[in-house]
A and B are shown apart, each in its own frame.
Chain A
């Protein structure tokens, strides 16, 4: 008999990506790009409480956001390296970051700490977002004017 009650739940169908893959995240605001439009800001990787419950949404191709419920114009597309996402390390991070596909072409960057309003978790959320922006993300495309 299995003593773990969670073991009997059906496993979520997730697809693991190899480290060489890239995934794509919609940039919801132009300020998520650096003023010279060559870099990505950490704000693109804040995990918001009550909104990003499964993680940070990504798509497997650059325009996957068009298949989501995102209807408002967006500022562009951010390319995210799967391997570099998994390489993000911090002593306070309990679980390593990962990228999984849950409902193709949609997936999530998982184990990103929530950006809470106060306390040490907020500090860690800022750090992880900063590392993702600097080490794993590049500007794929900027929409001018914004569109979907």
Chain B
């Protein structure tokens, strides 16, 4: 049996000629002199939101032209809050931007409709990270945990 025919048959049974599942694959049929060329391709894996956020963060470490670079501790803390809070919130976790505070710390920043949440990941282990948030009012929160950040981001998202 020709490969193309086997592929079609396997398509019916849900596998490629190599026995791989066809789920999510695209079947292409191209005319050729001898009949048709049939092949399947797997979709390109889209970058996840989490991967995009972490890439943005890691870019800050790789830059070479600037006065400011974040400390390893600040980067580690920022990743911790992002991973853990993303795990709690899933796809509703809003994409942040990153700001360097001028003292080797990183601020993870979210802005929505006049509301702001800024998580300050400080450069030294001895200093406590904190959240600053504001709309018409403003305040800070100490003893930051992923759950505390989740609650504050839900406050941000509630004002859409």
Q: How many A-B residue pairs have CB under 8 A?
A: 65
Residue contact B100 to A29, C-beta cutoff 8 Å = yes
Asked if A122 is an interface residue, CB under 8 A from chain B, the answer is yes
Asked if B99 is an interface residue, CB under 8 A from chain A, the answer is yes
Interface range, A side: 20 to 34
Residue contact B67 to A29, C-beta cutoff 8 Å = yes
Instruction: Please pick, from B127, B138, B139, the residue contacting A130 in the complex, using a CB distance under 8 A.
Output: B138
Distance in Å: Cβ of B42 to nearest Cβ of chain A: 32
* Contact of A28 with B132 at beta-carbon distance under 8 Å, contacts A43-B101, A117-B122, A126-B118 already known: no
Please, what's the 1-or-0 string for A26-40, where 1 marks a CB less than 8 Å from any CB in chain B?
A: 001111101100000
Instruction: Please pick, from B99, B130, B138, the residue contacting A32 in the complex, using a CB distance under 8 A.
Output: B99
Q: How far apart are the CA atoms of A127 and B116 in the complex, in Å?
A: 11
Residue among A31, A34, A43, A122 with the highest chain B CB neighbour number at 10 A: A31
Instruction: Please pick, from B103, B116, B140, the residue contacting A122 in the complex, using a CB distance under 8 A.
Output: B140
- The closest CB in chain B to the CB of A71 belongs to B67
Residue contact B66 to A28, C-beta cutoff 8 Å = yes
Q: Name the 5 nearest CB pairs between A and B, nearest first.
A: A31-B99, A126-B132, A72-B67, A123-B140, A146-B65
